[in-house]
Amino acid sequence: MRLPFVISVPHCSFQVPQRIRPSIALTESQILECSDLGTREVFTQFPVRVVLWARWSRLVVDLNRDYLSRDPTGVVPTVDYYRREVYKHDCSPDEGEVQRRLKDYYWPYHWRLKEALQDPMTKVLFDCHSLSNIGPPGAPDRLQWRKDIVLGNNGDHRGEGKPSLGTITCPTETLLMMKEVLEESGFSVSINHPYAGGYITTHYGMQLAKEGKIAVQIEINQSLYLDDETLRLRMDKVADITKMLGRSFRVIANRFSDGLVGTFHC
């Protein structure tokens, strides 16, 4: 039986289209560093309603950004999270190129995601990411150690609403339930720190809340399955983590089936 979830994995790829690669200044290793390493291997194995994962690197187009965003870390970024220039001199994409990438790479993903969320059997959108063990220079938790899992609902560290951010995308009690289930599986868990939820979680989460549905961002610590020196996945660890998460997702799905979830308060 399929779990009532949609899983989105927007930053898993490190592939760059052949026509774009000559304009990029970063090395293959640096492009690899910019991907959410391991997320495709970990999060796409579960029997859910729909799984979506990115074909192309976030450096080509960032699926987790508003299509109107044109800042240096926007929908077509010109600097990466380590503050490195993405493009060679005079090779930054113009607006025509941005529009082409939106048409070819961005909108197909979002159209499919929107369609999946309209399924009446879908209860939760999980937008899945990975993070490094220590916050990099551009992160809000620069040089700090991180937990195994970060759950984000666009709220504060208790999962409650934060006026400066807007509406939460998952009821507080439901997020705390998810935290408890994951901790029972052996993970250490942080709520909304260092990340409270990106564009996919907040944009779709606001809409889903009106239907009594939920959106949650999940960040998993790469140190659980990644060799830091080689950036290679330790597949035995990937298998272990996938099994642990699978158990957690099944328990969470059962809580939904039993009606043991919170509701949004107007």
Instruction: Give the whole-angstrom CA distance, residue 220 versus residue 54.
Output: 17
Residues present in the chain in total: 266
Query: What is the block-wise mean pLDDT of the chain (266 residues), using blocks of 10 residues?
Result: 95 98 97 95 96 98 98 96 93 98 98 97 97 86 93 97 89 97 98 97 94 96 92 95 97 86 61
Residues pairing with 155 in the sheet: 161
Instruction: Give the whole-angstrom CA distance, residue 147 versus residue 48.
Output: 25
Q: Report which DSSP code applies to 63.
A: T
Name the burial class of residue 165, with classes exposed (0-12), middle (13-18) and buried (19+) by CB atoms within 10 angstroms of its CB.
middle
Return the pLDDT at 257.
83
Return the pLDDT at 2.
93
Instruction: Give the whole-angstrom CA distance, residue 216 versus residue 171.
Output: 10
DSSP for 229-256, please give it: TTTEE-HHHHHHHHHHHHHHHHHHHHHH
Domains of the chain with CATH codes: 3-257 (3.40.630.40)
Return the pLDDT at 113.
98
Instruction: Give the whole-angstrom CA distance, residue 178 versus residue 251.
Output: 9
Return the pLDDT at 20.
98
pTM given for the model:
0.95
CB 126 within 8 A of CB 10: no
Return the pLDDT at 264.
59
Residue keyed to tokens 């507080």: 172
Q: Let me know the angle formed at the C-alpha of 133 by 45 and 247, rounded to the nearest 5 degrees.
A: 30
Return the pLDDT at 260.
64
Q: Report which DSSP code applies to 105.
A: I
Return the pLDDT at 86.
98
| Cis preceding linkage at 194, omega within 30 | yes
Q: Report which DSSP code applies to 22.
A: G
Q: How far is CA 17 from the centre of its chain?
A: 22
